[in-house]
Amino acid sequence: MQFARSTASHNPTPIQVQSDEQLMLAYGQGEIQAFSQLYAKHKDPLWRFFIRRGMPTDCAEELMQEVWQRVIQSAAHYQANARFTTWLYQIARNLLIDKHRLAHRQFKLVTEHFDDEDCSANEPEQLVQSARQAQMLRKCLAKLPALQLDTFLLKEEAGLKLDQIAQVMDSAVEACKSRMRYAVANLIACLGKHGEKS
């Protein structure tokens, strides 16, 4: 769980190690500090979830605000029945779907010419290769079908397991498993294809 580790290091010195659910309950009882802690933990992964879903920045900002507004409004009546992260991404995804439905978003197509300007010629070849691959991955992600992309991002950014992803996406675990398999296959194929080209 890559994200979980990275977020743990993001929060430098938490006064008291509390679960997300405990923090949410504490905020519900009036502790603003708990909300700050919770927000600091989840804001960047959620932001990247929107951005990597191909949302323009202004749209992502709007969605972020809406998601957290719902969290804030629900705080007084919040009950820790489910995992907070699952609930948070459920809200985020529902809002995203509504937004897409309104905008009739079309997935961006991967451009055939990769932008190599970011890669410095002085860096070691392996590092340059990795950076190039990461850049390619970004473009390949944009090519993925929405459901496969959601499954992949929920795993990588939110650190959710397949059963939790299924809960967020309101679908069967097997379906999510299958989507994940297709997402990985498509990304590898995309990366291989572009690797050969470069």
Partner 1 sequence: MTVQDEKQLTALYQMLGKESSPAKLDSKILAMAEANLSDRSDTQMNITNRPTFGRKWRWPLSGLVTVLLVSVIMVHQYFSPLQKIPPHMESAQPASPGFMQMPALIREQDPVESKRQRFSDVEAEAQSAGDVNFHEDMHANKVEIIQNAAQWRIQLQAIDKLLSDGKTEEARTALTKLVSQSPSVAAHLSDRHLQLLDRPR
Q: Which of 133, 143, 161, 178 binds partner 1 (CB under 8 A)?
A: 133
Q: Which of 130, 145, 163, 198 binds partner 1 (CB under 8 A)?
A: 130
Please tell me the distance from the alpha carbon of residue 75 to that of residue 46, in angstroms, as a whole number: 19
Q: Which of 134, 163, 195, 198 binds partner 1 (CB under 8 A)?
A: 134
- Residue 104 or residue 143: which is nearer to partner 1 going by CB? 143
Stretch that binds partner 1, among 15-23, 93-101, 128-136, 162-170 (CB under 8 A): 128-136
**Residues in Cβ contact with 58 at an 8 Å cutoff, skipping those fewer than 6 apart:** none
User: Residue 68, interface with partner 1 (CB under 8 A)?
Assistant: yes
Question: What are the CB-based long-range contacts (under 8 Å, 24+) for 79-87?
Answer: 80/21, 80/22, 80/24, 80/25, 82/167, 83/20, 83/21, 83/164, 84/19, 84/20, 84/21, 84/23, 84/24, 84/38, 85/20, 85/42, 85/158, 85/159, 85/160, 85/164, 86/160, 86/164, 86/167, 86/168
Smallest gap from residue 137 Cβ to partner 1 (A) = 5
Smallest gap from residue 65 Cβ to partner 1 (A) = 6
User: Residue 51, interface with partner 1 (CB under 8 A)?
Assistant: yes
Interface size with partner 1, residues (CB under 8 A): 37
- Residue 104 or residue 127: which is nearer to partner 1 going by CB? 127
User: Residue 105, interface with partner 1 (CB under 8 A)?
Assistant: no
